[in-house]
A and B are shown apart, each in its own frame.
Chain A
């Protein structure tokens, strides 16, 4: 496989990480917590979607909408139950609470849905582009033909749609502008008469909707099991921090960097070492935190 093909794989991975990372980074910026249970929101969204397709027989796009609505409601409910009451205690207790909640959700899902992996039964159409000539440098093919499936196009298309919608929300609507104001300075926002609790609730709903969509896309593209969300959370987190925690646009950029690094390192590392590609993503994360802790765009996270 050539470089072109792996870039496509990277863009697909980056797309669903980006959708989830926007939600993650909004929670970070506005509720001021690292939500470690966020991966489980993806899993729940995907399972709601699979359940809707399987039991109700609804077509997939409708099932995705059901999953997104369900994800938003669950996210709001969990926030009201677990995070809102301890909002004032600072980032560390909230991080620890989310770790506990993640354990509960993950094992709850495992208990009810079992260990096996599920997926959406879709018919993929594959578009091939074999016209490109290979451009070999040593054993590495720098161009080469590639293919793209309709599923991959759906994932990338959804991502672009989400970016546009989130951008419109944050710049054109009152709620979105209030979100940005709160992320910037919560006290000042409250002084200006913004109902901060209502904004926080809407952030939770938005994050839940995005997580559910990312989960459904993950289920379309590959498959989901009880552990899927947890295996994604470190990548989502890396992407969000890489882009500068709290900045949705940074998160999008960070996600595609992570996605491309994962895909390219899997392709071009010597066989037998492909498993370390996730370690490379974390290495980038640590490197960014050490060199430019504010990420590609964002605020200072160093104390001294």
Chain B
């Protein structure tokens, strides 16, 4: 083994794909900038709006699943309240930047200031939850995070004066829609811009986890005691992974608020957590591209059921139930028969299939 190989090892190999991700992401950002800042306009056929809508949600959830994969796939932290960081990011950005909301706090500050504050707010919450509960056993960490998410959901619904109750915060600025030539262009630009952001995040994650730092995280997942006995402060590594994931989710929440123009408790239910968890497990935890692929399959199912709705005689409610039954069965079957997911590495995850 040459010195160079020994020094870079995994980092070198994954470095190639990280750079490719940065390149593709950069191109996406450029295209988005072109669409937003020039009078260039695109028209979208009406039937494909649903694709753009679900696609935009997919790239936002993509940021969530990347953060969750850092926590669970790499470090082994069972965070079952990931949606709370998404929600806190979104609410912080919305409350700081909204103007003339129907109810709740609306400060009307510039959104460029609000977005980083949203990220910090989510990271701080992550740090608080982390300090208090990362020492708990896996399944109890799941319960604490889940309970945290439920507490915040209840607060959002009940404190109308601050969070706007069930209506939420309205009048959040939509910078892309304001700048772009028309609404079709704005939709495409949003999708391309957020897609670029997610791809760049993928690049960063690949870099981070391919580095020696990432190897420590994986070692913690495999055996925390061994990792501690070779002199790594496992708690602070776990804490960092948890906070990074939370901050990324807060960022995704901020983007969601600025895209949607409003936030409400209904957007931040336990359903979001379940969706990204199933996407991650289906694709294969601890493989960044695999978790995105798994999420794409789960969200593709949502698209499929929308189209199937038009050709079958059942009601929308019944169809939603059928889709959720399918999602639940997928989760059960994946854990039973392919515990490492579709593209996951069984040896890496230490599971038998």
Contacts and interface: CB of A to CB of B under 8 A. Distances in A.
A169 B277 CA distance: 39
A280 B123 CA distance: 24
B324 interface: yes
A107 B154 contact: no
B325 A103 contact: yes
Interface string A191-232: 000000000000000000000000000000000000000000
Given A104-B325, A108-B325, A283-B151, A82 B332 contact: yes
A107 B271 CA distance: 13
Contacts of A285: 143, 147
A286 interface: yes
Given A34-B139, A302-B135, A96 B150 contact: no
A92 B221 CA distance: 13
Given A85-B336, A241-B143, A304-B135, 6 more contacts: A89-B339, A91-B139, A106-B324, A275-B154, A279-B158, A282-B150
B339 A107 contact: no
The 8 closest A-B pairs by CB, nearest first: A103-B328, A100-B331, A104-B328, A107-B321, A279-B154, A275-B158, A282-B147, A100-B332
Contacts of A190: none
B154 A289 contact: no
Contact of A272 (B78, B160, B325): B160
A276 to B, nearest CB: 5
A99 B317 CA distance: 21
Interface majority SS (helix, strand, loop, mixed), chain B: helix
Given A96-B281, A99-B274, A302 B136 contact: yes
A37 to B, nearest CB: 9
Interface in A271-302: 272-273, 275-276, 278-279, 282-283, 285-286, 289-290, 293, 301-302
Nearest to B327: A103
Contacts of B226: none
B140 A289 contact: yes
A95 interface: yes
A234 interface: yes
Interface of A: 33-34, 82, 85-86, 89, 91-93, 95-97, 99-104, 106-108, 110-111, 115, 234, 237-238, 241, 272-273, 275-276, 278-279, 282-283, 285-286, 289-290, 293, 301-304
B282 to A, nearest CB: 11
A96 B325 CA distance: 15
Contact of B154 (A106, A272, A276, A293): A276
A241 B137 CA distance: 13
A276 B158 CA distance: 7
Contact of B329 (A96, A100, A301): A100
Given A91-B138, A290-B132, A303-B136, A86 B144 contact: no
A103 B329 CA distance: 8
Interface string B125-152: 0000000110111111011101110110
Q: Which of A102, A275, A286 is the most central at the interface, judged by chain B CB atoms within 10 Å of its CB?
A: A286
Nearest to B142: A95
A276 B162 CA distance: 14
A303 B224 contact: yes
A34 B235 contact: no
B147 A111 contact: no
A283 B150 CA distance: 10
* Residue from B155, B235, B336 whose CB has the most chain A CB atoms within 10 Å: B336
A77 to B, nearest CB: 15
B331 A99 contact: yes
Given A111-B318, A276-B154, A289-B136, A102 B147 contact: no
Interface string B204-245: 000000000000000000001000000000010000000000
Contact of A111 (B136, B154, B325, B331): B325
Interface string B143-173: 1101110110011011110000000000000
Contacts of B140: 241, 289, 293, 301
Name which of A86, A279, A293, A302 has the most chain B CB atoms within 10 A of its CB: A279
B322 interface: yes
Nearest to A115: B317
B351 interface: yes
B335 interface: yes
B67 to A, nearest CB: 18
Nearest to B149: A282
Contacts of B138: 91-92
Contacts of A304: 135, 224, 235
A212 B28 CA distance: 55
Of listed A99, A102, A276, A283, residue having the most chain B CB within 10 A: A99
25 contacts: A82-B332, A89-B351, A91-B138, A92-B139, A97-B332, A97-B336, A103-B324, A103-B325, A104-B328, A108-B325, A111-B318, A115-B317, A234-B146, A234-B147, A241-B140, A272-B160, A279-B151, A279-B158, A285-B143, A286-B132, A286-B144, A289-B140, A301-B136, A301-B137, A303-B137
